[in-house]
Structure 1
């Protein structure tokens, strides 16, 4: 598959072409109660002269937090995915606003985030976790909003659906690795790019062999050494599935073939990714492991937000290490390359099966090494042969449903087999 970088994340492009309106930039935050959303709101609150949040969306589990955010930011609209929580949200908002004060508009239901993403604003920050972020991504792009994209799954499973909608410069990547690549790519032209080098922390199990990973517990897997993230992303980091997804994302964002996208392990997480150019030089983007830097760039682009996070202290001694990726212990990256090369529904199958397997692992019904093994089996069974040339949203949703069902079935079988084998 060949993708022109001008279609997606071209750092040399400017979207929209006309100058922004005077006053604070209006932002919609999707997934506001999660890790990305809360850090974005922290940036906004410290920079009211730059940003104003007009809308918030969340799943509907942390209503007190969501209502508090809405009141503090004085947003126009609040959206939740769970329609059955709409009354409870109204009560939580009333507790924050007080009697007689007008409440923000409430949207509730599975399409609420998409409605909000299409509302009047400058930038939509998609901080939703998982492929449920696809519909809001498509809605934001269709409405002509700048999309600060932290929801990598929507690009990966949507593939040509997203690339077919995005205008040059319309997507600003927020993942720390892709934000780093985005910045480093400013150092050259597309024809001067030799390789993209995506860094990985290695997670909590760097250096362990496959046999040592079989008995890993959820508590151990959730103890990430450098990043503070939600459970799904943290487990994906431990299996390095996250890195596999990032390879596919880099291919789609920047139009670089899979054979020229490498993964290298960098435990300190200060070098967020690198671009190697044809003259032998390499540009690296560095900074402490703090997501407020790429978030602030995502919502502020093309300008940087002063003081978004603390810089490196270059007066202190630092040791930064780099190691090759152990693909025997962590086969998720080669699997992701295969999936990305297949295209079509394969990325949706890969992602959906992984989400189900992570849930099964966290519930204690699937061993750690069973996550990627099960995903690989589902991909082999249902990923297609790469011969398809078109993709619809219905194709994606149906493929995900089949993959989730099969992954749950296999995870149950794996659990029974493990239990039966225990003396």
Structure 2
């Protein structure tokens, strides 16, 4: 049930999954762990009209004030891990969603051509230069209200009301429900990376005082019911979004062509990208009880124009997660000979962007993965004295949490998967 709250409160969505009540709320959470350097007092939208006039003069100051939104940030790889058990809480290796930009030109941050054209049409180089300088672009970006102190962030939002964030508790929490990336895009050190003569789209920001890479991680795996609920959300009313925080003290708000929306009006457009997921059973599954826990497709669209599909992602890479005690037969490590194969090395390079070698072992030929360390994706348990284990054969029935064991012989737990999707 979705509830719209009054102007002085926020919004909530709740649903019942088996015996668990899941609460999704839309509330102000303050900085909530975001670096103190990103003080909310810095989130004022650029210079005031008086300050712009004092700095540029009335005519040019008005032009800076009218500069359009400048940023075009994109993910180029998204991974989904379906593992969901209470014992995984706090374990860095077991995220649910990790999205990032790893290939400059495909992902990263760039300046929109509309902003460049606007500056080139309305401003002049500083004599004796014959072209507008990098420092001029940086200055107009930092001073313009539409762009000052924008922070790219990832969240799961209501598609028809983009200032509403789905949360795992009764408050929207920064770094848990809204994940900031990079830092302020108008920080001078950050602008050094993406503002240049060629206006590239970097994925690494060595001079950022916050985060050096454009990457965000979410954990929605406290239990199978919560994971399943979020999968349903991302296929229906919700979408993973890459948007820009309006104000660090109110991280649920996004920057939009419509400006800051009132709480009584649903915000349907914003600057940024939306990612609509489709989940399905793993290919080859023949049993109805096998969960729909792999990403079948991702439809990327423009939040500013939701009907504009900007990319259809390749989600063909799926890896069955194998318990470490089963790895010798179900997912053996690559041999030295395997690693001489160029295609195997290329696939490992892709998965290693998000699954480091100290946390995961992959066999990309067998399409499987094994977590390292003592923590398992599966709850280790027995039923009437018999170990439950995991079912890796997709033609056999399996047990899902919140289901029912059959008879005296336990069904093994259904297999979990890692899905890796690439932007073309």
More helix by share: 1
TM-score w.r.t. the length of structure 1 is 0.25
TM-score w.r.t. the length of structure 2 is 0.25
More strand by share: 2
Larger Rg: 2
